[in-house]
Structure 1
């Protein structure tokens, strides 16, 4: 068994619970700025999360939920403009400290960094969102902790395709056997497992009932010493929170 050399992280829903009160709100603000009467409720946004990528979600919304909208001639540019405005709102929310990291995230990343493991991001969200989250919710300069940040449109196919993970591992110069992934969604686990990675899942409110058959363990969050996780699937022994020792055991299992 190859030793563990790198941790590969999804971002939205994994490092921070960004979707319901972050991205969704930012989308609605961007729509209002553009003079649109669109509003994505929590329920509707949950359905749109079946599609990865913000621009892709707008496209799905128009295809399935707002078919009467008279789209402009250059629909692609129109969607890109809305998404750019949404990103500006979202990064502003992050800079205001409104979206904290999930339990255990800061601790585990710091532990892995101290142990000399490589850190990487593999996400469909934009690079601007990743930077804003890491710099504001983790620590100023935290972007530099990561050897690779693979984000947004850097690959042609987004999750559930494995492309973003394959790209990240290629840049790291590592094989799947040397890495482990962290995800929160069914599409994310399809992506990581298709890239040959073992995957640890921490669900969120939108993904709790999804299927994670390919994950090595499914938790409600990573936990803290004084705030134990709930194990929803898999085996963790006597552990009550996710630390590097448990990550290594799961990698070897």
Structure 2
């Protein structure tokens, strides 16, 4: 069994509590797009978050268009422009309101102090959004630019989790095998992406509350994560279970 050498962190709602802020901005823009095309439907941030967490803005618009049979044309170039606009709006909210996930800073400090693992971020968000998040909460000191990977910017062809492409790319750049890595993910699409790349994954539910947390535990377990942690204080025990071969 390979020794674990590398920890791969999702960013949004795993290291930082960003998803609700991101989807607030996202919903505003989606509703503007629909209004400009004389479509009366409107969406809230929580509605979009539940349906599209982990997906790119471009894929979300395409999915909404197909699901609701919206009869309008939108080119890939337009989608890219809207995605850039969304990033601007999201980043503004992150810079104003973003907070870290409870306990994440302490665990990162412990990992860096021990020096036993390589640390990397593997996210579906754009690099500048990840960078703004890391800087806002002071996590940029833990991750150099060369170990942050974005499914939006780091690949020749942008994609979204659950496609494993961004994890496979990170493994190649970091020169790591799947067996020596552990991923931490909070969403079904994230867990599936890491698992499809052959990486054992810890499901994180600390960003959820009440019934949503109970629901997500089942969803993450069914998505192939090998162990679930409710709080970052559980991280080392979860990692130990993977390293020992218990899970």
Q: How does 1:174-213 map to 2 (within 5 A)?
A: 174-203=176-205, 204-205=207-208, 208=216, 209-213=218-222
The verdict on how the C-alpha distance between 1:50 and 1:100 changes in structure 2, with shifts beyond 3 A counting, is: closer
Could you say what the CA RMSD is over the residues aligned between the two structures, in angstroms?
A: 2.5
Partner of 1:242: 235
For the structure 1 residues 51 and 132, does the alpha-carbon distance in structure 2 shift closer, same or farther, using more than 3 Å as the test? Answer: closer
> Which digits, 9 at most, give the CA deviation of each residue in 1:228-253, with x for residues without a partner?
xxxxxxxxxxxxx323x652343332
Q: CA separation in 2, counterparts of 1:45 and 1:189?
A: 19
Give, in angstroms, the shift of residue 177 of structure 1: 1.8
- Unaligned runs of 5+ residues in structure 2 are none
Aligned length: 229
TM norm structure 2: 0.81
After superposition, the Cα gap between the structure-2 partners of 1:53 and 1:251, relative to the gap in structure 1 and judged at 3 Å, is farther
Q: Which residue of 1 aligns with 2:229?
A: 219
8 Å contact 1:8–1:179 — kept in the other structure? yes
Structure 2 partner of 1:167: 169
* 1:18-68 deviation digits (Å, cap 9, x = unpaired): 22x212111134346766476422453145316722211121112223614
Say which structure is richer in helix. 2
What is the distance in 2 between the residues matched to 1:128 and 1:164?
A: 16
Structure-1-length-normalised TM-score: 0.79
SS of alignment partner, residue 218 of structure 1: strand
Counterparts of 1:26 and 1:42, CA distance in 2: 8
Native 8 Å contact 1:104 1:242 kept in 2? no
Q: Which runs of 5+ in 1 are unaligned?
A: 224-240
